[in-house]
Structure 1
Amino acid sequence: MNLRSNENPFGGPYRHYPDDDLDVLVRHYIAALDAIEPPAPEQAARWTWSSENVLITRGAVDALDLVLRTFFEPGTDLVAVTPPNFAFFDRLATLHGIGTCRVPLGGARFDRLDVERLVATPVKGVLLCDPNNPSSTRLNPEDLERLLARFAGLVVIDETYVEFATRASHRHLVSRHPNLVVLRSMSKGFAMAGLRLGAILADDAVIAAVRAARPPFAVPGPVIERAVDELADPAILRRRIDAFVEERDRLAAALSRCPKVSRVFADAGFVTIEAEDVADVASALRRARIATVVNPDGWQRHVRISVGSAGQNARLIAALHDSHQREEDLT
C-alpha cells in the first residue's frame, strides 16, 4: 500500500505517478538496440547494459540539456563544437551560460577531427554529432579513438541518426572510455517522434550524476506504455530502418544526377547537397512548394533535404530538372 506519493485515490487510470526508474522501458530499449546493432561477442562478454548506464530522456535534445546542466559550470566552463554542427549545441550552451570554442571539421567530407587542437583547447567537454547534422557524414573513427584516449574531459556524441548508418554505434566504446557519453533518439530510426523519447548511454558514474539532476517523473505513463509496445518487436523496427535507408540511397543517387548539384552526402537520416548556385536551387524548390533547409545552421552553399516517400522524392527531383530545363530554354 502506497501512502507516500500524495496521489488522488479518487482519480481515473492516470491517477498514479509514472515509473520514475523506467526499468521496463529501459529493458525493452536495450533489447531493441542489441537486436538491430548487436555488439561484437567480446564486447557483449565484458559489458551488460542496464538502467545503471542507460537513462531515458524526453528526446536527444533533453539528453544534451541534462548533460550540460549536470557537468558544466555556467560562466566558467567551455565546450568545443566542430562546425558545421547541430545548431542546438550552440543554443543550449548559450542558455546554460557555457562558452563554446569552434574547431571546424576538416576533410573533403567534413569527417576529420582536429584532435591536436581539441586536446590543446582549454575546454571541459567536446560536443560531437555522428552521423553529423547538417553534413550527413560520419566522423573518422581513428580520429575519435585518438580523441577519447587523449582528452581528459567528457566527449559527448549525439547519435540521433545512427540507426541509418553503416557503421556501429559508439555506445560499444563506453566500456573502454568512461569519459564517453552517447546521446540517442527514438524519433528517427525507431519512428517514434511523437512520443519524444531519447536516452543517455554512459558509464555508471555519469548516469548517476545526471539522474540526480533530472526532475522526477520526466516521462509520462502513457508515453512509457506506448513506447514499450513499439519496441516489443525489433524485427518491425529493422524493417522500418531498412525501408528508409533504401529510399534515402535512391534519393541520393537521383540527386547526384541533377545538373544543379555538385556533391551529395547521405550517411544520416536526411540528404545534404552542395549546390553550385544555392539560391537558384532554393528558388526552384520554392516554386514547386517543397520545403527544405537552405544553408542549414549557416552552412553556405548547402541544402538539407528530408527523405520523403517515393512520390515526394520524385517531385523533388523533377523540380530540380525542370528548373534546369527552363534555364536552357531561356538561353
Structure 2
Amino acid sequence: MSITLLARKQVQALTPYQSARRIGGHGHIWLNANEAADSGEYQLDCSRLNRYPECQPPHVVNAYAAYAGVSAEQLLVTRGGDEGIELLIRTFCEPGQDNIVICSPTYGMYAISAETNGVGIIDVPLNNQRQPDFDGIIAKLNNTKIVFLCSPNNPTGDLVDSTGLRRLLDAAKGRALVVVDEAYIEFCPEFTQADLLDDYPQLVLIRTLSKAFGLAGLRCGFTIANPEVIGLLLKVIPPYPIPEPVAQIAAQALSDTGLATMRARVADINQLKVTLTEQLRQHPQVQEVFAPNGNYVLVRFSQGAALFARMAKAGIILRDFASRPGLADCIRITIGTQTEMDAVLDVLQQEQ
C-alpha cells in the first residue's frame, strides 16, 4: 500500500503553492519573487542559542508596535506573514464546516492554507475596476468566517477602497473577520488601514519584514488585531515560533537606524518603479501596466509567453501570471537595481 494513502485526503488532493523559489529557473537576474535587492548588515550574539527563545520576544513586539502605531497587545510576531494567515484559519475556521472568501486574482496562500486545513474557499473575483466586489462578499458572509483582502494586491498592485472596506466591516460585525494583507504597505504607507483597527475589532492586518525591510530569508511577520483576536491566536501558535537569531535581526531592523535604511530602500525602489513604469507604458509591446503600488509591476504584453521566454533566455527570471483568470499575457516584474531594470528594458527593445 502506498504511504500516500495514509495521508489526509485533503493533503493527497492538494496542489502545493507554487512559490517563486519552488518554480525556480536558470538565470542571473532574479525578479520573480518581489525580493529586495539587498538585506543590510546585522550582528548576532550567540551567547543565548543554548536557550529556548521567548514565544513573543518583547523587544521585537514593542519595536514593531511603536513602528506600526499600535499597542503591544494588538500584535503577534509570526514566522512570516504566511504563518499569520495559517493561524487565523486554524483558530477561527471549523474544518469541513466553515469557509473563507478570497478575491482572485490574489495571493495564493490564502486558498492553500484553507485547503490544507479542510476549510472551504469561496472566490468572489475582483470586479472590472480590480476592486473587491463588496456586495458579492457581503452576500456570502452567512457562510464565511474570514474574508482575505490584499492591499496592495499581489499580483495586480491595486489598493482596497476604504469606503467599501468600511461597508464590509460594518456588515461583518459579529459574523466574520476581515483580514487585510499589507505585506507591501511600506511602498505606499499612507494607504494603510491601521487607523480602522480601534473602530472595527473584526479587522486584522498582516505585515512582514520580507519586502521593504529586505529580510525575506528571515521569515518574520506580524499580525495586528484586536487584543481578543491576538489572545486566541496565542492559544494556537507553537511555543517557540521566533528563533533567537530572527528576533535579534528583527529588533535591529526596527531600530531607528534600521527604519532609516528601510525608508531609503523604499525611496530608491519607488523611484526606479516610476521610471520603469513610464518606459513600459511607451513601449509598443506593452498593452497595460497595472497599479504600481508595491515593489513590483504587473504588465500585460501583446505576446506575454514569447516575451517571458526571451527574458529567460537572457537570464532574467520573471513571474508569469498568464494562467490566472483575467491575466492573459501578464508578467510580474520585481523592482530590482538600476542595472537589472536596464537589462529588462534592453531585452524588451530587442527584435522578436
Report TM bin, short chain: 0.7 to 0.9
After TM superposition, give the deviation of residue 237 of structure 1 in Å. 2.1
Aligned counterparts, 1:13-28, within 5 A: 13-28=48-63
Distance 1:224 1:166, change over 3 A: closer
Partners of 1:296 and 1:16 in 2: CA distance: 48
State the AA in 2 paired with 1:29.
Y
Indicate the larger mover: 49-58 or 72-81: 49-58
Distance 1:286 1:21, change over 3 A: closer
After TM superposition, give the deviation of residue 273 of structure 1 in Å. 0.4
Is 1:286 matched up with 2:309? no
| Unpaired segments ≥5 residues, structure 1 | 1-10, 35-48
Contact 1:273 1:303 in 2 (8 A): yes
After TM superposition, give the deviation of residue 166 of structure 1 in Å. 5.4
Is 1:315 matched up with 2:336? no
State the AA in 1 paired with 2:318.
T
Partners of 2:47 and 2:343 in 1: CA distance: 48
Aligned counterparts, 1:115-126, within 5 A: 115-121=134-140, 122-126=143-147
For 1:173, the equivalent position in structure 2 comes to 196
Aligned counterparts, 1:71-110, within 5 A: 71-108=92-129, 110=130
After TM superposition, give the deviation of residue 288 of structure 1 in Å. 1.8
State the AA in 2 paired with 1:287.
K
After TM superposition, give the deviation of residue 321 of structure 1 in Å. 1.2
Distance 1:203 1:62, change over 3 A: same
Q: TM-score, normalised by structure 1?
A: 0.86
Partners of 2:323 and 2:235 in 1: CA distance: 33
Q: TM-score, normalised by structure 2?
A: 0.81
Contact 1:60 1:197 in 2 (8 A): yes
Partners of 2:275 and 2:167 in 1: CA distance: 34
SS at match of 1:208: helix
For 2:222, the equivalent position in structure 1 comes to 199
For 1:277, the equivalent position in structure 2 comes to 303
Partners of 1:220 and 1:232 in 2: CA distance: 19
SS at match of 2:223: strand
State the AA in 1 paired with 2:301.
A
Name the structure, 1 or 2, with higher relative contact order (CA <8 Å, separation 6+).
2
After TM superposition, give the deviation of residue 247 of structure 1 in Å. 1.4
Is 1:257 matched up with 2:282? yes
Partners of 2:115 and 2:328 in 1: CA distance: 23
Q: Taking every aligned residue pair, what percent have the same amino acid on both sides? A: 30
SS at match of 2:159: coil
Partners of 1:269 and 1:33 in 2: CA distance: 19
After TM superposition, give the deviation of residue 297 of structure 1 in Å. 6.3
For 1:138, the equivalent position in structure 2 comes to 159
Partners of 1:316 and 1:32 in 2: CA distance: 35
| Unpaired segments ≥5 residues, structure 2 | 1-45
State the AA in 2 paired with 1:189.
A
For 2:31, the equivalent position in structure 1 comes to none
For 1:45, the equivalent position in structure 2 comes to none
For 2:186, the equivalent position in structure 1 comes to 163
For 1:221, the equivalent position in structure 2 comes to 244
Contact 1:296 1:304 in 2 (8 A): no
Partners of 2:108 and 2:177 in 1: CA distance: 19
Is 1:127 matched up with 2:127? no
SS at match of 2:73: coil
Q: Deviations over 1:266-322 (max 9, x none)?
A: 111211001222122222212322111112662422111111100110010110111
Contact 2:322 2:329 in 1 (8 A): no
Partners of 1:305 and 1:292 in 2: CA distance: 6
For 1:113, the equivalent position in structure 2 comes to 132
Partners of 2:186 and 2:234 in 1: CA distance: 25
| Aligned-pair Cα RMSD in Å | 1.7
Contact 1:154 1:179 in 2 (8 A): yes
Contact 2:285 2:302 in 1 (8 A): yes
Partners of 1:178 and 1:61 in 2: CA distance: 21
For 1:42, the equivalent position in structure 2 comes to none
State the AA in 1 paired with 2:49.
Y
After TM superposition, give the deviation of residue 99 of structure 1 in Å. 0.8
State the AA in 1 paired with 2:68.
L
The aligned length equals 298
Q: Deviations over 1:112-157 (max 9, x none)?
A: 2211211111222211111000111112221111111112311011
Contact 2:101 2:146 in 1 (8 A): yes
For 1:41, the equivalent position in structure 2 comes to none
CA radius of gyration, larger in: 1
Partners of 2:305 and 2:55 in 1: CA distance: 49
Is 1:186 matched up with 2:214? no
For 1:243, the equivalent position in structure 2 comes to 268
Partners of 2:336 and 2:252 in 1: CA distance: 25
State the AA in 1 paired with 2:184.
Y
